[in-house]
Amino acid sequence: MKKTTTLLLFLILFSACDSTSAPPTPVTTDSATQPSTMLTEIPFAAGYGYESAWFELYFTNPNSSLSSQETGGIDAPLVEAINSAKLSVDVAIYSLSLNSIRNALLNAQDRGVQVRMVMESDNLGRTDPQIIKDAGIPILGDRREGLMHNKFVIIDKSEVWLGSMNLTDSGAYEDNNSMMRIRSVKISENFIKEFDEMYVEDKFGDNITAETPNPRVTIDGTPVDTYFSPDDGVQAILVDIINTAQESIYFMAFSFTADPIGEAVRKRAQDGVTVAGVMDDDQVASNIGTEFDAFRQAGLDVYRDGIAGQMHHKTIIIDENIVITGSYNFTNAAETRNDETLIIIITKRLQNYLLLNFRECMTKQNKAVTFYCPGRLFNLIVFYLISFQDLTRPMMKPQRKLVDRQSLLNAPGELGVEFSFAFQPIVDTQIREICSFEALIRGVRGESATSIMNQW
């Protein structure tokens, strides 16, 4: 269930939007195929993903039975991409301990591919970086107080992999993370410029001039904005975008201590915008100045996560159509000291998948919560999940009773059962059990919504 919800949230963040309040940027178009809203599922034993003509979107699945074996995860497609590299592989990573990635980099060098790396100095002494260095692959540490916190890989100067996932065993198999592959020469140029500033010019942190070649690239009609921190003043850009929210703000945050961003979120909530979020439990407990308490005091639907690993996403979804994601935690350190990456994508293609991602993380904060659907005018709903016909592509057969006039739809091939008037998926079709529950959803926009299920 977790994987589907996390994926849906991430896709919602990539929904359609014509404009934001972010500073205007030059438009560079990468031409590929005609735009399509259809995504193809990428199956994994311990993760899940979707692809279109120019991007792939991946999510970890810590709940998979294979995650404890550290196999079948979303490191596999990155390994495959590195194995296919013909010219170059540039890696900027905070930490690396995945043997699969280490071996792929070593094999690439053996094939004559140029492999270069920059890394957080505090993690250079670990086993895998040392094996890589001993094999002759150059790795440059940042050697300073701030963190080299980027998590991106550029392959053959034509595609970039980025997201919240460190290339570690825990990042791929224990934590909630996302990773995205973007096929675009223009966007790759942005990351090459950032990489060379660190690797070639030895400039880290605030010792950098903002010179992103293609700040906005439009691919098949989808605007993609690239930002780096501390170069680009990311915090002000985020505040500006949050201030444009009219309907909803959903977020998944490993660390959230930036007062300006938190204040902007609370102000929109006061104006009637639906706000909901999930934050990493350990970070909430340990961070001084966490925004969690202020969110709760404001009556917002913000919760601590409930998994053993980390809720490591750094994602905000605005009005179910603007996706903000990357390595950038919502903190002062990310804004002023750390080397970070953030992208903003505006598209209809990812809506349902990203919303599922978010709802999955929300449900994990409380075992009594089966699904999350805030700010909707619903009444009592009783329905039963009878069985699934096919474990690889399950379909629901709900029996339902509605107190109000809304009706549930069973949509074959969709990710969930939906309310016809709002297209709000409320049930994850990845459940592999016969089960039943009833949900009481209350409230209107701006009021909390709750669902209660019978334990199974």
- Secondary structure of residue 103 in the 3-state scheme: helix
Catalytic residue list contains 90: no
DSSP string, 334-390: HHHTSBEEEEEEE-STTHHHHHHHHHHHHHTT-TT-----TT----EEEEEE---S-
pLDDT for 205-215, tens place per residue?
987 777 899 99
Mean pLDDT over 380-398 rounds to 30
- Secondary structure of residue 8 in the 3-state scheme: helix
Contacts of 89 (CB under 8 A, 6+ apart): 82, 105, 108, 113, 114, 115, 116, 153, 154, 155, 156
Q: 391 pLDDT band (50/70/90 cuts)?
A: very low
Tell me how far apart the alpha carbons of residues 173 and 75 are, in angstroms, rounded to a whole number: 9
pLDDT recorded at residue 345? 94
Task: Count Cβ atoms within 10 A of the Cβ of residue 390 and give its class: 0-12 exposed, 13-18 middle, 19 or more buried.
Answer: exposed
C-alpha dihedral over 228, 231, 236, 241, to 10 degrees? -30
pLDDT recorded at residue 206? 86
Mean pLDDT over 252-271 rounds to 97
pLDDT recorded at residue 65? 85
Mean of pLDDT over the chain:
76
Q: Is the link from the previous residue into 230 a cis peptide, with omega within 30 of 0?
A: yes
Q: Tokens in use for 326?
A: 């990357």
Tell me how far apart the alpha carbons of residues 59 and 43 are, in angstroms, rounded to a whole number: 11
pLDDT at 220 over 80: yes
Catalytic residue among 2, 151, 312, 313: 312
Mean pLDDT over 230-259 rounds to 95
Q: 189 pLDDT band (50/70/90 cuts)?
A: very high
CA–CA distances in Å: residue 125 to residues 44, 120, 130: 32, 10, 6
Tell me how far apart the alpha carbons of residues 332 and 256 are, in angstroms, rounded to a whole number: 9
pLDDT for 92-128, tens place per residue?
999 999 999 999 999 999 999 999 999 999 999 999 9
Q: What is the 3-state secondary structure (H, E, C) of 245-301?
A: CCCEEEEEECCECCHHHHHHHHHHHHCCCEEEEEECHHHHHHCCCCCHHHHHHCCCE
Residue 112 backbone phi and psi in degrees, to 5 = 95, 10
Catalytic residue list contains 175: no
Give the E-state strand segments of 403-452 in sequence order. Answer: 408-409, 416-419, 425-428, 435-440
Where in the chain are the domains?
Answer: 2-235+308-359, 368-456
What is the H or E stretch that residue 91 is in?
strand 88-93
Within a 10 A sphere around the Cβ of 129, how many other Cβ atoms?
22
Return the percentage of the chain with pLDDT > 90, whole number: 55
Tell me how far apart the alpha carbons of residues 362 and 368 are, in angstroms, rounded to a whole number: 11
pTM of the model: 0.77
Q: In the CATH scheme, what is the homologous superfamily, with its name and number, of domain 2-235+308-359?
A: Endonuclease Chain A (3.30.870.10)
Tell me how far apart the alpha carbons of residues 150 and 228 are, in angstroms, rounded to a whole number: 9
* Exposure class string for 412-443: b at 16+ Cβ within 10 A, else e: eeebbbbbeeeebbbbbbbbeeeeebebebeb
Tokens 């399950």 found at: 394
- Nearest alpha-carbon partner for 150 in 165, 140, 138: 165
Between residues 430 and 125, which one has the greater pLDDT?
125
Catalytic residue among 314, 339, 364, 428: 314
Between residues 4 and 158, which one has the greater pLDDT?
158
Tell me how far apart the alpha carbons of residues 257 and 288 are, in angstroms, rounded to a whole number: 8
Catalytic residue among 75, 225, 319, 428: 319
Half-sphere exposure of 280 (CA within 13 A, CB side): 22
Catalytic residue list contains 314: yes
Tokens 């100095």 found at: 121
pLDDT at 15 over 50: no
pLDDT at 73 over 70: yes
Min mean pLDDT across 30-34, 82-86, 110-114 is at: 30-34
